[in-house]
Amino acid sequence: MDRIKYNKYRQFKEFAIRNMMLVLTIISLTFAVIIGISLYYKSVPILDQQSLWSLLSGRSWKPLKGEFGFFPFIMGTLWVTLIAIIISLPLCLLSGIYLSEFAHPYIKKMVYPMIDVLAGIPPVVYGVWGILAVVPFISDKLAPHFVEYSTGYSVLAGGIVLAIMIIPLMISVFIEIFGALPGGLREASLSLGATQWQTVKKVVVRKSFSGLAAAVVLAISRAFGETIAVLMVCGNVAEVPKSVFDPAYPLPALIANNYGEMMSVPMYDAALMLSALLLFVIILAFNAISRLVLIRIERNFAL
């Protein structure tokens, strides 16, 4: 009899815990839905006056004249994020492989705290460093070889600073992914005569590919929303960049620079809320698409 009561109690406990976790998961997802609905509600006034396509494809940003074109800001966001990923991904991947597979334990003890320090530095410090080091380097040393003139406040400067900011995150996640791989896979590969590099290339990276892709998606999402450091070095000119040496104006910088100012201008508040909604949708859509791609890659590897 006592055993029957105990089994019923255990089943009830498991049922309660399972449903509690389900409720908490739904609550977490609800926050994202509430944010999206709130931003859309605040953006309705400008959407009632102008079509979404005209706003997204418009190139003119003149709030005093009622012209709100978001295309330069969208392109600025994409340019800066793409450059940051192109710079940081090879560095982080090779660094993660070295630290997890080849580095001496003494080197790991020295490097890991430095990665944590880099991850904890405030974004404004990266921005100041970008102004003092990256911008002058681009203006005086790099740009003259490619263009006639550049102030240094450019897409490239924003991409470099943003790449430095997301490097600690990507390296840490890559190391965790490689560390979670069963050691027996490495031993089996080495026992068959493969070199350590062949094992890394054919076994470690291949088996960790889905996790690496997820880490890159996480880094891109972080890069999309970065604000302070990027707006300090990008130049903040509302024009579509034609090269990496041209200034840009990413969406997060637009919101941070202008929210709270010029709110007396008609539709300005709604335009900024729409820019926040666009950023929200871009990140959401990118994560959804990347998840679908990741599922297909995992299926191909399973075959």
Tell me the per-residue pLDDT of 140-149, one tens digit each, with 9 for 90 and over.
899 888 888 8
User: Do 19 and 156 fall into the same domain?
Assistant: no
Answer yes or no: is 175 within a domain: yes
In this prediction the pTM is 0.84
The answer to whether residue 257 sits within a structural domain is no
What percent of the chain lies above the pLDDT cut of 90?
A: 18
- Residue owning tokens 């406040």: 153
3-state secondary structure of 59: coil
pLDDT at 302: 55
CB 130 within 8 A of CB 233: yes
How far, in Å, CA of 68 to CA of 267, rounded? Answer: 9
Q: Are residues 33 and 113 in the same domain?
A: no
| pLDDT (0 to 100) of residue 135 | 92
CATH number at residue 135: 1.10.3720.10
Is 177 a domain residue?
A: yes
| pLDDT (0 to 100) of residue 189 | 84
At 245 the pLDDT is 92
Q: Which residues pair with 235 in a beta bridge?
A: 248
Domain span at 41: 2-49
Question: Of the candidates 224, 282, 284, which has an alpha carbon nearest to the alpha carbon of residue 253?
Answer: 224
**Residues 197-256: tens digit of each pLDDT:** 888 888 888 888 877 887 888 788 878 877 788 888 998 888 888 888 999 988 888 888
Closest CA to 111 of 33, 164, 52, 172: 172
**Is 191 part of a structural domain of the chain?**
yes
Taking only the tens place, the pLDDT of each residue in 155-176 is 999 999 999 988 988 898 888 8
| Structure letter (DSSP) for residue 197 | H
Beta bridge pairs of residue 248: 235
CA pair distance 159, 247, nearest whole angstrom? 11
**Same-domain check for residues 42 and 74:** no
Q: Specify if 113 maps to a domain.
A: yes
pLDDT at 90: 92
Pick from 251, 280, 286: which is nearest to 76 by CA? 251
Counting the structural domains of the chain, the total is: 2
